[in-house]
Amino acid sequence: MLTPPSPSSSPSLIPQDPTNSRKRQRSLSMQSEASSSSPKRSASQDPQSFQSNDIPVLSSPANDHEIDAYMAEQGEDHGKAMASDAKADWAPAQKLHFVEDALKKPMQVGDTWYIVSRRWYLRWKKAMTGEEDKEGRVEEKDVGPVDNTPLCDQRGQVTSDLIEHVDCEFVPEEVWAKLKEWYGEPKNPLPRKVIARGIVQEPFLELRPPSFKVHLLAPASIPGQTMPAKEVTVSSTDKIRDVRRAFASAFSSQKAATVQYRVWKIASDASTDQLLFPVDTLRKCGASLLEDDDNTVGDELVDSSEVFVVEFITRDKWMVDPAEVTPLSDGAPASSVPPPPSTQPGPLFSSGSDFFSKLQTKTAPVVDTAPSSAFKPGPITTVSKAGPSAARPKVQREPGTLGLGNMGNTCFMNSAIQCLAHTQELMDYFLSGVYQEELNPDNPLGMHGAVAQAFGALVSRIWDPESPMSSYTPREFKQTLQRFAPQFSGYQQHDSQELVAFLLDGLHEDLNRVLKKPYVEKPDWEGGGDKELVELANTSWEGYMKRNDSVVVDLFQGQYQSTLVCPECSKVSITFDPFMYLTLPLPVQKKWHHDVLYIPWDLEKPHLRVPVELSRNSTFKDVRQLLGRWMETNPDNLLTLEVFSHQFYKNLDDTILCEDMSDSDVIVCFELPCNSQQSRTYKPQPDDPFIVPVFPCESAPSRPSYRSGPALFGYPFFTVINQEQAKDPEAIYDAIVSRLQRWTVHARDLFTWEAGPADDMEPVHIPISGPPMVDSVTEIKENGEVVTVEEAIPEEGDIVDEKATVVREADEDDDMGLNSGVPRKVGFKRNLFSIRVQKGDHPYGVGYNTFGSSYSRFETWEQRASSKDGILLRPNDAFFVEFDEGVKSYYFGEERSNWEYALWNRWEDFVHPELAASRKAASSQKHKGITLQDCLDEFTKEEKLGEDDLWYCPSCKKHQQATKRFDLWKVPDVLVVHLKRFSNSRMLRDKIDTFVDFPIEGLDLSDMVGERLVGRKLREQGVDVEALGLHDLDEPLLYDLFAVDEHIGGLGGGHYRAYALNHATGKWYHFDDSYVTVSRPEAAVNANAYLLFYRRRTGHPLGGKSHVKIEEARAHARAQLDSAPREDVQLPTPPSEGSLSRDEPSVISNPPTVLDWPTPNSMSRSSPASSPLPLDDRPPSFDEALFDPVMQSSLGLGEIPLGASQLELPDPLSQGSPSSIDAEPDLEDDTDSPFYEAEGDDQYNAGEDFSQDSVRLRNAVFKRDGSVDDDEDTTDVMMTPAESEADETDSAAYEMSEDAPATKEDA
């Protein structure tokens, strides 16, 4: 997978168009002719082509389009016509079937798949199925090309981690070709290669392949040249030789195939935004050649942040001589790395001044006279000599301040490593070499010891006091990590907490002292008191220790108590389980806010708009439970649905998460007189009533088309019809009209009225003055026409006239047989609407455009009457009630008048007191802030298990929704606290940025640890707590902060950094990948804190069994040193006598291992002349670890030949002389020195202890008569063959004994 494509066998990531190959060839030939015919003219047109043979002509997209247009005019461009023909040959259903079948095939290693935006894919799928949703129907002609813009940044790079079926879809190459053929050239194509990852070599789509910035080498920069540098994307499985070819092909595929080229690797801070890179800059900034190699990018762990420069040979001559270029070192020496230039960006999320700048401000070395031990290094004083070597002064770097280079989104790993590397007790364990003795490579649950060895080698580098590097790229560690944890492979961002969990678990299994794990049955609570509880906890811990015993258990693992209580029989179950880190929820979880339209069944109660607040992980079952409690009704009788476009759009049952709903969605909750049958646990009964949705609509046109459906209006609602009513169409009609009363202001006119008895008549005041009154009567005729008749009431006359009128009306009433009284309901008016019945596929009429889509799907009562039981209704039926225009206008009004007579737009607001109190508490909590203690209280809070996480009660013999509670029982020496800031649900990933205040010193857990609380209670009762294994009950459980892993930003675009306390210096440092700055502990307490590392404050050593082993190792080292003959140790050679700094590439002061700890013969301050540890007791360096048989077998390296970095040194205790090779030999007094010659004795043969191929002496002048010239430099320095070859220009004289072994130069 190379971009641009290379001639290699790897598939290209850039989609190829076979129809354009001939055009491209002609395009290249035309450009070639133009450039060769007139170089001056080319230079005037394009500043890059100032010299046709120096820099290749870069193809321009504009030229390609011109050529394409020309070819089209000549009738040679048939690509688009073919695409249109192919598009017409496939029906939408065929396209959908083809794509869905192709997506089911498994991925094969080496295949190329493409990323497709989920948004575009769903839109395309909707066009294929003809589905119509809230956004309406999508026609295929409106789909357009595949558009991955939402997934990419401005450079076309993927912006965040992608989750299949959430953010995107993965399609094979044949599907991508068809989508391109059907809909045109895609936007931001994202081809990805299927690679094998992990030990099992499982196929995996490389979502974030490494991408490199590539420049073109030029004799000089060109003013006004603004072309940006190339971005070349490759695969981590591509070979280095193919990557080199891809870099060259990015500028000219023709020259890459025919002309020699070289690829230079330069420092990233030397890169610019310009395409051309001047030769002079290359000479000065430092560079190294990238040679052809069959290793892959993943094997070499090349950083995606690295920058390369391509150089093409010009007139059979290279532009630059490699001898003129400053070498580029892998690690950056602290003395030679300048701060970033002002034109270059500094560290990401920079905080404070630059660490390197602070180092350069130091002018004098600082001498630390504090005592140091072999296992706890202190700062090392280094003095450089005057003279030529002073051009590279060494700057002191305190141990533990090594930055870690970012290899492309590996900040999550770097920050986690820094926190663990500053855990003092863990470092004592690794740096003392104890871990080598406890490796368990045969553990089937471990990583064959490889993770422990890689971690040990890495922390040795971090704590190396004499390392000249200020930063180091942990390539080998990441390579080992991704071999055993494929989820961390590649260059994607990951969760730092997940890495800490994996690393601690991996170290535990690699260093597990239990070689064969026995079967241990987990005990359960059988009842009893506090004493039995302590015994159960001890039994559980002892059983765990029978299978797990390591330094990780000694330092990081505690025990918590889990209590379950059955809600039915009150059975109590108590278990004790270990924990390695404490995941604490934040008590201010983000809430889901929404207004729910609540419709009571009682028509006398108003319909309400109810605001609700629930946690984001709540379901609509929780919504119904809440509304049932607030409205004092049975939650099982509530029905929640989403309404859209006058229909029920979604059934909001128990499985729907609240956070899946958008703010604009209309959520309605209906109260029913029966069970709503919406719960998943509901079991249907034979006599269940029918819950039927009702959709108001306009009358059908006189000649409806086959596909046309009714015109819906207003709000749908529900009616409930029992089994008897379902047999009678009239009863069904009455049930519908009854529910219509809620939605019209003219509900009174839905009934037929008659006058009641006269006795019931209420006295009415008859006005005797005022304007004439008008009596209006509204009449609805059979055809639906509404007629209003107004009659003028006669004006008041004399008493005789009024009496005559009353008598006449009374006579008329008597003649009609009516009694004057209060009007009385006779029944509902008939024929207000017509009922159409339609059977659906989903309950509650859910499914947009499913019901009422066609008049042909309606059924009549006559068709339904043929059933044997006489019931006219079926499950999932829906009613469409058709109103004539006049009836609709009278009862509901007109849409243009905003339905002036309808009540579905009038909702009464209701805020429950519980919600008001919750909002008030949240407001006060926001101002108060959150503390770590609040998080601990939230963790130990009792909660009820969900329906998906039921507990089987052994007493009830069934699963129960029990209550659960966690409590801390035993806490570890090193407490890792994980603040649960990230929430991950089905459709939403979010981060909680709330500030949590946590103490730097004195985190008190005394009142939260059950072991202490129960122990004190038992002691007060007179129980012997010592016999129960409970000790130090009165010692407070105080913890002090020593490291913080923080996360800045949101999901997908965040960055990890770390704060840590250096236990060797007592200073706090801030680690931002390779940038390290001095900091304050208060700076670590911020809203970005993610992982907190606490160390227990106690009067006894931490670590338990591991501490004992560390002390034994230290005692053994001291015993070996004490048993060796002691000699007077020469003071360090002064600078004036030619002592060379370790930083010089040709000289080392100790054997060139990763870990060079100063080891004194006494407990006094170590000096460069001190003896190192005996080789058998020294922790191996990383280079030495690679030669270990276990390491070779685990890494699959095979046998590695001894390199120049391996020294064959004698056992320093076997010679009876100081083992330091830095000290000047005392030739006068030290008769035991191997360099001393006594008269008459045989001369010492260096070849007996130092092989000819491993070491030689430099600047060592030994007189045969034993005299020493004061002017001569007698410092003896041991060198490897590589260093020896690098010292060819040294002008010092060499005088060796005749029978001394010859050097490589002499040979």
Active-site positions read 411, 1055
Dihedral in degrees, nearest 10, Cα atoms 1210, 456, 354, 1055: 160
**Tokens at residue 1223, please?**
């000290």
Please state the φ and ψ torsions of residue 533, each to the nearest 5 degrees. -65, -45
- 591-599 and 132-133: which strand pairing? unpaired
Measured CA distances, 120 to 345, 422, 539 (Å): 36, 48, 58
Nearest Cα to Cα of residue 587 among 1038, 1055, 1025, 936: 936
For residues 772 and 797, is the Cβ–Cβ distance under 8 A? no
Please, what's the b/e burial string for 507-517 (b: 16 or more CB within 10 A of its CB; e: otherwise)?
bbbbbbeeeee
Q: Please, what sign has the CA dihedral across residues 758, 764, 766, 772?
A: negative
Q: How far is CA 1167 from CA 380, 464, 1041, 1130, 1140, in A?
A: 8, 15, 32, 11, 15
The beta-carbon contacts of 26-31 under 8 Å, at least 24 apart in sequence, are 26/67, 26/71, 27/59, 27/63, 27/64, 27/67, 28/59, 28/254, 30/67, 31/57, 31/59, 31/63
Q: How many residues comprise the chain?
A: 1307
Token representation of residue 961: 């929704």
Confirm if 52 and 252 have CB atoms less than 8 A apart. no
SS3 call for 1013: helix
Q: What are phi and psi of 980, to 5 degrees?
A: -80, 85
Which element (helix H / strand E) includes 31? helix 21-37
Using DSSP, state whether 1259 is helix, strand or coil.
Answer: coil
Three-class secondary structure of residue 1004 per DSSP: strand
Give the whole-angstrom CA distance, residue 407 versus residue 410: 6
Q: Would you call 457 helix, strand, or coil by DSSP?
A: helix
SS3 544: helix
Among 411, 848, 387, CA closest to 644:
848
**Cross-strand bridge partners of residue 1069:** 1060, 1078
Q: How many Cβ atoms sit within 10 Å of the Cβ of residue 576? A: 23
Neighbours of 1067 (CB within 10 A): 16
Structure tokens that stand for 838 in this block:
């339609």
* Coil/strand/helix, residue 1112: helix
Return d(Cα 107, Cα 113) in angstroms, integer. 8
Give me the DSSP letters along 530-559: HHHHHHHHHHHHHHHHTT--SHHHHHH-EE
CA distance 303 to 330: 11
- Cα distances (Å, whole numbers) of residue 731 to 130, 720, 721, 872, 887: 38, 11, 9, 11, 21
Contact present, 59 and 31 (Cβ < 8 Å): yes
In degrees, rounded to 5, the angle at the alpha carbon of residue 1210 between the alpha carbons of residues 1204 and 1211 is 130
3 state SS for 405-432: CCCCCCHHHHHHHHHHHCCHHHHHHHHC
**Chain Cα centroid distance, residue 857:** 50
